[in-house]
Structure formats: C-alpha cells, structure tokens
C-alpha cells in the first residue's frame, strides 16, 4: 500500500490508501490481542485526524496533534494502544463482549475516508468456572488414585509382615493335641 503522507493522489483509487466501503472481517480468540489496521504507513498528523469508534462510541482518536482514548465507560480500560505513526488500533486481552463493528474515520480538511472492520471474538470454549471445575475433579482423581496406591501397599506390607511371623510361628509351633501329627513330626525330625 502506498504511504498516506500528504493529500491522496487523486489519480490512484482510494483503495490504495484505505479499503473504503468494504467491510473487513477479523476473527480472534478471547484473551488474545488484535490490531486493527488503517492501511496507512504514515500520517501527517498536522493535516489528518483519525477516529476509532465501537458502535456509536468514540474509543480512540488522533486529533491532528495528539492521541486520546475515550474510556469513560471502562469497557476497554487499559487495553487500547494507538500507533501515532499509522493510526493502527491494538486491543489487548480481547473479550467476547468486544465483538462487533469498529469504524475508522480518517479526516482532513478536504475529505473523509470511512472504513468498517467487523471483529468476531470466539470464546476459549470453556468458561473460567468450567476450567476450575475440571481442575478440581482432576486433582481429586489424582489424590484418590494416590490414596488407593498407599492403602494397597500398606495392606500388602501389613499382611506380609504379620503373615510372615504367623507362618514362622506356625511352622515352629505345629504341636497339636493330635497324636498322628506328633508321630509325623517325630518322623520328620529323625
């Protein structure tokens, strides 16, 4: 695109400067950043003003000498960045409520160029509450699995420990009141 430094060259179509009339669509994931482009590479701020609107509200502007943000409703509080050189508008940590039409108006004393950009913000698919719920369930499942492993091994160790002593005692103390057993023991010892 051609730089937009002075008055536009009337021999070139206006779309060489800014895509006028057409609606551009941009899709972005919630939480990401998006930059809305003016199509300009440089602005002579003493001759041009730029305004960015969301719906019917002015959200940012470069009026010929300075840049300003209109954040009276707090909707974009601290999330807008306006490039003084190009007029690009960057929205950080974008939210689904930021979806909609953004209007760009570039004005000089001789003409005005309007451009509309439709921004669609798609959610991450899960609400923060759902993500927290999933995390809690996973933590509980891991804790239950760990507890089951500990109980299993404690039971096994206790069984082996007590079973080994019982077997040794049973082997050594196999004396009973049964005379047949006594004969077998005496025969085995011989």
Report the candidate in 50, 40, 23, 37 with the shortest Cα–Cα distance to residue 105. Answer: 50
pLDDT digits (tens, 9 = 90+) for 14-28: 344 444 557 889 999
Tell me whether residue 167 is in a domain.
yes
Tell me whether residue 85 is in a domain.
yes
Are both 137 and 114 inside the same structural domain? Answer: no
Are both 165 and 91 inside the same structural domain? Answer: no
Number of domains in the chain: 2
Residue ranges of alpha helices (H) inside 53-172 are: 128-172
pLDDT digits (tens, 9 = 90+) for 102-157: 999 988 888 888 899 999 999 876 677 778 889 999 999 999 999 999 998 888 88
Tell me whether residue 180 is in a domain.
no
Are both 74 and 136 inside the same structural domain? Answer: no
Strand partners, 23: 116
Pairing of β 112-122 and β 80-82: unpaired
Last residue within a domain, chosen from 60, 89, 122:
122
pLDDT digits (tens, 9 = 90+) for 129-141: 778 889 999 999 9
Tell me whether residue 188 is in a domain.
no
Are both 106 and 36 inside the same structural domain? Answer: yes
Q: Which domain holds residue 136?
A: 128-172
35 vs 18: which has the higher pLDDT: 35
pTM: 0.54
Last residue within a domain, chosen from 85, 105, 122:
122
Residue 35 has pLDDT above 80, yes or no: yes
Are both 26 and 93 inside the same structural domain? Answer: yes
Question: What is the per-residue pLDDT for 70?
Answer: 57
What CATH number is given to the structural domain containing 23? Answer: 2.60.40.10
pLDDT band (50, 70, 90) for residue 180: low
- Tally the C-alpha atoms within 13 A of residue 183's C-alpha that lie toward its C-beta: 3
Are both 80 and 146 inside the same structural domain? Answer: no
Are both 99 and 159 inside the same structural domain? Answer: no
DSSP letter string over 5-51?
A: -SS--TTS-GGGTS--SPEEEEEEETTS-EEE--S-S---TTT-EEE
Last residue within a domain, chosen from 85, 100, 122:
122
């Amino acid at each position: 695109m051609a730089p937009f430094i002075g008055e536009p060259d009337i021999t070139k179509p206006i779309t060489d400067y800014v895509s006028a009339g057409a609606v551009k669509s941009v899709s972005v994931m919630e939480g990401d950043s998006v930059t809305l482009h003016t199509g300009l590479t440089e602005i002579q701020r003493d001759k041009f003003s730029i305004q960015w609107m969301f719906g019917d509200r002015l959200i940012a502007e470069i009026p010929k000498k300075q840049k300003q943000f209109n954040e009276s409703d707090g909707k974009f509080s601290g999330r807008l960045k306006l490039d003084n050189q190009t007029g690009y508008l960057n929205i950080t940590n974008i939210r689904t409520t930021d979806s909609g039409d953004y209007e760009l108006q570039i004005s000089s004393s001789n003409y005005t160029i309007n451009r509309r950009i439709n921004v669609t913000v798609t959610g991450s698919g899960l609400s923060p509450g759902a993500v927290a719920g999933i995390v809690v369930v996973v933590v509980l499942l891991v804790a239950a699995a760990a507890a089951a492993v500990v109980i299993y091994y404690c039971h096994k160790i206790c069984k082996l420990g007590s079973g080994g002593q019982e077997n040794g005692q049973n082997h050594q103390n196999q004396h009973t009141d049964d005379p047949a057993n006594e004969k077998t023991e005496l025969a085995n010892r011989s």
